[in-house]
Amino acid sequence: MTLAQQAPALILLFPFFGALLTLLIGLYRRSWCWPATVAACAASALAAWSTVVQVAESSNALVTYRMAGWVPPVGIEFRVDALNAGVVFMIAMVSLLVAIFSRTVVINETAGKEHFFYTLFQMLIVGVLGIGLTGDAFNLYVFLEISSLSSYALIAMGRGRAAFSCFNYIMMGTIGASFYLLGVGYLYIKTGSLNMVDISRIMHEQDLFQTSTIHIGFLFILIGVWIKMAFFPLHRWLPNAYTFAPTATSALAAPIMTKVSIYVMIRYMYTVFDPNFVFGMGPRSDVVVWLAVIAMVVGSFYALAKRKLKMMLAYLVIAEVGYMVGGAWLANKTGLTGAIFHIMADGLMTAALFLSAGAIYYKRKSYNVTALKGMFQKMPFTMGAFALAALSMIGIPPTCGFFSKWYLISAGIEAGHYGFVGGLLFSSLVNAILFFRLLEYAYYGEVETPYVAAGKRGKKKGFREKSGRDEAPLSMLVPMWSASLGLVLLGFYSGEVIAFISRYVAEVQF
């Protein structure tokens, strides 16, 4: 076996051993933790790219990898097809960008705990990548817990109400994971298998779709992942958890954790179960789409009402979840394509936004929107990246946000679901108001001198006033601009990406 054939496993193994190594290195010299993390993430991203290439080149768009050579369904199998190859690559890339970005903020916010932070940071990446890669329902649960546990710890390292909001998240997250586990348990009772493809095969062969056990199992899994992705009305845990988390944590968790849950939902809906079963039961899909519409509208509105930049972005994550869930539940190919494409597009957009917001916080020590005043003068490059990401969120071509919206809207029209179309357009317009309000602050506002960062006791720790231009360090600008330019590139090459996704979508029988 050549190294390239090991790529699916290597995606995971690099950050996994990186995490162990980082902990040890950190005991010796803490400043080496960052390079080690970046190296692990870069290697992982490289392996992910190699996997994508293999999937694209294989005749049936499928690459499987058997852990330790055990034959499935007994052994654990990694299955990478056109659905999750792109998602995994997006996750690996975003992780790499956030890892590069984190250099100064981690030293700043979690001083003395860098090695713990980076260890958990990589474990979170391992968990999320594992969810994306695995073809085993129970193994997925294990990775779900790995990612959740490390994210709990990472969030609790934050400031202010981080501990409390993290506790809230732990409760909800545990409930979600339990639902998922119960659902898998029900499937196991009926089919005796844990391998996803095997479960699907047995359910088809024995015609188990009409049994109530399977129904309940599906419902439990669905509720589990809905909690994990913060789908309305199960979204309450998310805004606080992401707002009070350290900068690097929220920049990592926001783009990848909710997106991977959406991937899991799609995987269960279309690979494990099949559309006839999912949509064959009366009005249920319509209810979900309407919930998605509410999620978009409510998420956007809450975002508009907030005064804190990070809180706004957190609520936008909730709105975007509505886009993807709605697209996946419209029950047509265009909608599914749009939803899968939007997983990647939105991952990158959210990363770009959280990164630039993080850079602004790093310099201004405040997330308050008023801290943005005059930022186009002070941090022109950071604001440029932010503006580009904002345009993508609004859906201005040629950024990728426009093209995912294109597919989602045409799916809505195809399905005759004009509520969804209206909701999308409405949410785009609310996004426009939201972001241009922020950009107005940054463009018209005068820089306050002396600037007082909003802290409890007057001046915030670590803030130093600088006159004139005060741009973020290069280690922040590079990942930020990579993400923002990536949005435009993804927009231009969306044709190729969509063609790739279609290889999965084409096989789905609606």
Site residues (vs other proteins, CB under 8 A): 391, 394-398, 402-403, 405-407, 409-410, 413-414, 421, 425, 428-429, 432, 436, 440, 443-444, 491-495, 498-499, 502
As measured in angstroms, the least distance from the Cβ of 413 to other proteins is 5
As measured in angstroms, the least distance from the Cβ of 481 to other proteins is 15
Residues 224 and 133: their CA atoms lie apart, in Å, by 19
In the chain, the amino acid numbered 254 is A
Between 70 and 492, CB nearer to other proteins: 492
Between 234 and 345, CB nearer to other proteins: 345
Element (H, E) at 103: helix 84-109
Residues 329 and 313: their CA atoms lie apart, in Å, by 24
Residues 395 and 215: their CA atoms lie apart, in Å, by 37
As measured in angstroms, the least distance from the Cβ of 352 to other proteins is 17
Between 35 and 380, CB nearer to other proteins: 380
As measured in angstroms, the least distance from the Cβ of 405 to other proteins is 8
As measured in angstroms, the least distance from the Cβ of 418 to other proteins is 9
* Residues composing the chain: 510
> By C-alpha distance, which of 193, 210, 189, 213 is closest to 201?
193
Q: Give whole-number Cα distances, 391 to 55, 307, 349, 423, in Å.
A: 32, 20, 10, 18
Kindly report the backbone phi and psi dihedral angles of residue 173, in degrees, each rounded to the nearest multiple of 5, phi listed first: -65, -40
Between 205 and 446, CB nearer to other proteins: 446
As measured in angstroms, the least distance from the Cβ of 367 to other proteins is 23
Helix (H, G, I), strand (E, B) or coil at 78: strand
As measured in angstroms, the least distance from the Cβ of 359 to other proteins is 21
Between 179 and 341, CB nearer to other proteins: 341
Q: 13 Cβ partners below 8 Å, 6+ apart?
A: none
Between 258 and 337, CB nearer to other proteins: 337
CA R_g for the chain: 22
Between 171 and 499, CB nearer to other proteins: 499
Per the rule left: phi > 0, alpha: psi between -120 and 50, beta: everything else, 94 is alpha
Q: 163 Cβ partners below 8 Å, 6+ apart?
A: 156
**Under 8 Å between Cβ of 301 and 430:** yes
**Under 8 Å between Cβ of 154 and 121:** yes
As measured in angstroms, the least distance from the Cβ of 259 to other proteins is 21
Between 75 and 416, CB nearer to other proteins: 416
**Under 8 Å between Cβ of 184 and 263:** no
As measured in angstroms, the least distance from the Cβ of 389 to other proteins is 13
As measured in angstroms, the least distance from the Cβ of 492 to other proteins is 5
Between 213 and 410, CB nearer to other proteins: 410
CB crowding 119-145: b at 16 or more within 10 Å, else e: bbbbbbbbbbbbbbbbbbbebbbebbb
Between 492 and 510, CB nearer to other proteins: 492
Residues 355 and 385: their CA atoms lie apart, in Å, by 9
Range list of H helices, 206-236? 212-229
Q: Any idea which residue has 């939803």 for tokens?
A: 339
